[in-house]
Chains A and B, each alone.
Chain A
Amino acid sequence: MNERIILNKNNKTTIETGSSILLGTEQIQELSVVLNSMLLRVKNKINVKYGGDHPVVKFLEKSLLQLREKKIDEIEDLRHQYNLTKSLMELYLDEYPKSFDFFVQYFSSPDRESARQRLADYLEESTVKKEEPAVEGPSFDNFSVVEDSRVVSGEIEMKDDDDYQIKYEEKVVVDKNFELPTVPPEIKVKTEQLKYNRQLEELQVELLDKQTRLAQFGKFKGLFKKKEKLALEAAIKADQEKIEKLHQEKIIKGVHSFVAARSAALDRVVKKNEEENQKKYAGKLYAFYEKYFMKKLLPKGMREKLEKQGFIGRLLANGCTMNTALSFALLGGGLAIGGASIVGASVLSGRRVLSGAASGVGSYNLMKLGSDAWAKSHGWDKELSDAELNNFSVENLIIYLAHYEARVALNGGSVNSDSYYKKLTKTLEKKLKVVQVERHLDEKAWAKYLLEMEKTLDKSFQEALSKKVKQKSRLKYYATAVGVFIGSGMMQKTIEYLFGDKGVNAPVSKENSSHTLLAEQSFDQSTDFPPLVGELDLSAENSVDYSMIPELAEQSQSSVEEVLMPVTERTAEMLKESFSYNHSLIEKVGGAVEIVGGKTNVVFDFGVGGDFELKQQALRRVMMDVFPIQEILDKDGLSALDIGRIESNVTTFTKLLEGKSFHGFSPDILKGVMHIEGKQLIITDYEKLMKISEQVLAESKRWVPDMSSGFVRVGQNTAAHVWEKMLNFKMQNIKI
């Protein structure tokens, strides 16, 4: 059926329904009233089905009022109203085609009286039926289309046929501020969903049919028609898979479309705010929503509730970002209703974390933490034994807890009554107590200590953030695939800026923002360093300590040239072997060693699936490897002070890799020696790196003179067994 409403050239309005008729203003108004009645019916129907709070009901209540006040008298407006009504009827009234048949026929049929009567009958009948008891609001009882078609209560006014002749052309004054309701995007999304529902229903009917037939097989034919039965079973399985796939597609599409529609609507609201409500800065502020949500600015009410929740609650009250709070709320977590969570705690206690450090448990990593990939890469895809748990450092246990909780939540569950989770938290409590005692801190002092760390790190973080915002365009976007759960893109980019990007405006903080309680924790970053500058310098001194390897001792006494030239495949292989022997720690922890142009190259992968999660972890091994043997062989062995100095070295090299000066060293010192490329720490001249590390260590001794240094505490935050393991690897082939 052709249902077009058009405007003719002479400004006469026409509904074209196969046989055209012309409409005057009064007819348009009358048609509009008919459409209003239909809309009212739709509203009542939705009200019954979804309740009075349904957005479409609210929308229609408002729209109907507007439409009645407006008194549609232009064909274009009528067209909008028609399309809106049609869409809604299609969505919510099964009999919509019938309704519109009547609607169109009413104005097209030569037997108009009869069509009109049918329309009236139809509307009245459908109203009288009252299929659902909960119908609210006026229904079609308040009008009736009778022979003389008089107004009953203003809902509809139908006149004699003579009135449908074009008698005049008149100019209609239209209120320009009036906006006709159009089909809301969410209705379109609903249309999509209903289409999926229909397809699913059809598939389910087919499935049911097959299942019924299978049941009959079971009773009567199982033994004789085995093949057919098997085929039917296979078909049922295929149907079930198809249904599942379609169902998932429906949900994915539905959420995508909903979010897109709602976002567009919000954008419009903001624009309107700017235009109409003298809120000219609304758009500007709105554009920075991501920044606001990464702030640790929980609303007062939320803070007050959290502060009553003990230690973790207090930490969260002061250190939880808005994003985190929202994420908890989305995942049914307790934060939003006043409960604390270990995930939140880990956001805090891992500063470098905060960071995410900064990638953070706080945002990107919360999703990553809960993911299968993360679990598998850590061997955490199964419950850990008590022994394994006891071997965790406090920091790693927090991360593991965060991972576990996030994983449960992301799979739709809750840890509230999870016995394994309870076991984990008890283990953590015990470990925390030990750390507190070791540091001679009561609970108050302990909390204060952590909060102080928070503040210090926040300062540099916020400084970097401020500058980062100004340089938004410079930054690479990453983490989109995983999405930004708690923190959105802005968070990730900021983090990247702070910890990975070496832009000229990057802050050169004297605070050691890499100092965190979670020394062995993850962060993911996409660094953007310039490629290695300059050619490999074949004449550079090779400082491998071959004297430690008896077999190669003779070579080690040779000049560099003698060792390196010519660098045949055989000598390269030999050098590689000797390096691996002499630096067993590097080999043991996954460093890929190659001899290129006579220089030792070592590459570590970090990130998920790599040798390490963090470049700091790789650097920690390297710094341990190059740490002088004599320092270890002295009377106190590998002391806490030694470890503090190693941590200081790690921090220095981390900063240098980030393009920042630190402890008096310029990043230029690493040119041709070491750099980051994507998710790889690439050492292109290990021997030169050893030389540089000697200088760095000398400086570290100045910065870490005794046990009072923060670096010592940082060192202690990496589990003792981790250091022991590194030490064992380092000393493995050393003959004392």
Chain B
Amino acid sequence: MNWRELISTNIITHLGLHNIDEAQRLKLLAEIADLLQKQIMVRLIEFLNDEEIREFFHLLENNEDKELSKFLDEKVPHLEEIIYQEVGNLKQDIAAILS
């Protein structure tokens, strides 16, 4: 399955979560989403040196969103691809564990 297929796959069916009690299902989704955020953040950090991380942090902390957006577009131009990869990989990895 390529990333496009994986992105288009609903994680609920992909992992067989649809038969799980709703409250549990939502909790699991929340956990997965949280992990995904962390993974993407770690990938982001990989592309930044210490000075850039500081700048990123400064922009984030001070809510300078416009500059932050420009900064990311410039420093991590393939962020979209990273996100796709991480989402796809995560779906795949969890499915592999559960298989």
Give residues in A with beta carbon < 8 Å to B: 50, 54-55, 186, 189-190, 193, 244, 247-248, 250-252, 254-256, 258-259, 262-263, 266, 269-270, 273, 278-282, 284-286, 288-293, 295-297, 299-302, 322-323, 325-327, 329-332, 336-337, 367, 371-372, 409-414, 462-463, 465-466, 469, 481-486, 488
Verify B30–A329 contact, CB threshold 8 A. Answer: no
Residues of A within 8 A of B84 (CB): 329, 336
Residues of B within 8 A of A293 (CB): 37
Verify B98–A411 contact, CB threshold 8 A. Answer: no
| CA distance in complex: A485, B35 (Å) | 11
| CA distance in complex: A462, B61 (Å) | 10
Verify B32–A193 contact, CB threshold 8 A. Answer: no
Q: How far is the CB of A470 from chain B (nearest CB, A)?
A: 9
Residues facing A in B21-72 (CB within 8 A) are 21-42, 45-46, 48-50, 53-54, 56-57, 60-63, 65, 68-69, 72
| CA distance in complex: A250, B20 (Å) | 11
| CA distance in complex: A483, B9 (Å) | 22
User: Which of the residues B33, B60, B87, B98 comes within 8 Å of A488, measured between beta carbons?
Assistant: B33
| CA distance in complex: A290, B61 (Å) | 12
Residues of B within 8 A of A256 (CB): 28, 31
Residues of A within 8 A of B16 (CB): 247, 251
Verify B83–A329 contact, CB threshold 8 A. Answer: yes
Residues of A within 8 A of B98 (CB): 193, 250-251, 254-255
Specify the chain A residue showing the minimal Cβ separation from B34.
A488
Verify A255–B19 contact, CB threshold 8 A. Answer: no
Using known A-B contacts A256-B31, A367-B26, A483-B29, determine if residue A332 contacts B53 with beta carbons closer than 8 Å. Answer: no
Verify B62–A466 contact, CB threshold 8 A. Answer: yes
Q: How far is the CB of B40 from chain A (nearest CB, A)?
A: 8
Q: How far is the CB of A251 from chain B (nearest CB, A)?
A: 6
Give residues in B with beta carbon < 8 Å to A: 4, 7-13, 15-42, 45-46, 48-50, 53-54, 56-57, 60-63, 65, 68-69, 72-73, 76-81, 83-84, 87, 91, 93-94, 96-99
Specify the chain A residue showing the minimal Cβ separation from B74.
A300
User: Which of the residues A189, A270, A330, A413 comes within 8 Å of B87, measured between beta carbons?
Assistant: A330
Q: How far is the CB of B24 from chain A (nearest CB, A)?
A: 6
Q: How far is the CB of B94 from chain A (nearest CB, A)?
A: 6
| 24 CB-based A-B contacts, threshold 8 Å | A55-B96, A189-B97, A193-B99, A247-B19, A251-B15, A263-B38, A266-B35, A278-B49, A279-B48, A279-B50, A286-B41, A290-B37, A292-B37, A295-B60, A301-B78, A301-B79, A302-B83, A326-B40, A330-B87, A336-B84, A409-B12, A469-B61, A483-B29, A488-B33
| CA distance in complex: A329, B87 (Å) | 7
* A contacts with B: majority SS: helix
Verify A248–B61 contact, CB threshold 8 A. Answer: no
| CA distance in complex: A85, B41 (Å) | 32
Verify B12–A371 contact, CB threshold 8 A. Answer: no
Verify B42–A330 contact, CB threshold 8 A. Answer: no
Verify A266–B33 contact, CB threshold 8 A. Answer: no
Residues of B within 8 A of A409 (CB): 10, 12
Verify B45–A262 contact, CB threshold 8 A. Answer: no
Residues of A within 8 A of B93 (CB): 55, 186, 258, 262
Q: Choose among B81, B96, B99 the residue with the greatest number of A CB atoms under 10 Å from its CB.
A: B96
Q: How far is the CB of A439 from chain B (nearest CB, A)?
A: 29
Verify A248–B37 contact, CB threshold 8 A. Answer: no
Residues of A within 8 A of B33 (CB): 323, 326-327, 330, 484-486, 488
